[in-house]
Amino acid sequence: MADDTASLVAALESPTVKTRRDAVLRLGKSGSSDAVGPLIRMLSDRHHDVRTEAAAALGKLDDDRAVPALIEALTDSDPDVRAGAVSSLGRLKDRRATLPLARCLEDTDDRIRGGAAEVLGKLGDPRAAGPLARVAQNDPFSDVRDAAERALARIRKRA
């Protein structure tokens, strides 16, 4: 582990939210595979800002070891954390996330539903077609319905 990465990992233990959040941001930009484990642990931080940044940072590292933890983060109590997890799963493009993302189509937050629809379209997994069709027909927000329709079109094009 490089010295800079080691010092950032050490900063994750700080009692100060800002210090932990800044360390998470820098680890996400580091590109270091050594940052994956520590960032996964930060998805359990007591402060939602740190968890949100950890979810986003894991997507930047392009390491599929983060997928199970990001799937778990889809159920976080904070919608910003869930949104970060959706976005990062979209960057990682791992089909293990298909069914958990399909469950996000029922989230109370329209940002999560729309983001999940977009990512499901990128994944192109036909298992998402049924849930996406329901959202395209029934979601109260037109942006979410439109995202679901675009995702369905991408899935059908690949079939």
Rounded Cα distance, 133 and 137, in Å = 6
Residue 26, pLDDT above cutoff 80: yes
3-state SS assignment for residue 50: helix
Domain assignment present for 128 = yes
E strand map for 1-159: none
Q: What is the pTM of this model?
A: 0.95
pLDDT of residue 159: 72
Do residues 50 and 109 share a domain?
no
Q: What percent of the chain is predicted at pLDDT more than 90?
A: 96
Domain assignment present for 88 = no
Specify the CATH number for the domain of residue 62.
Answer: 1.25.10.10
The number of residues in the chain equals 159
Domain assignment present for 104 = yes
Rounded Cα distance, 131 and 136, in Å = 9
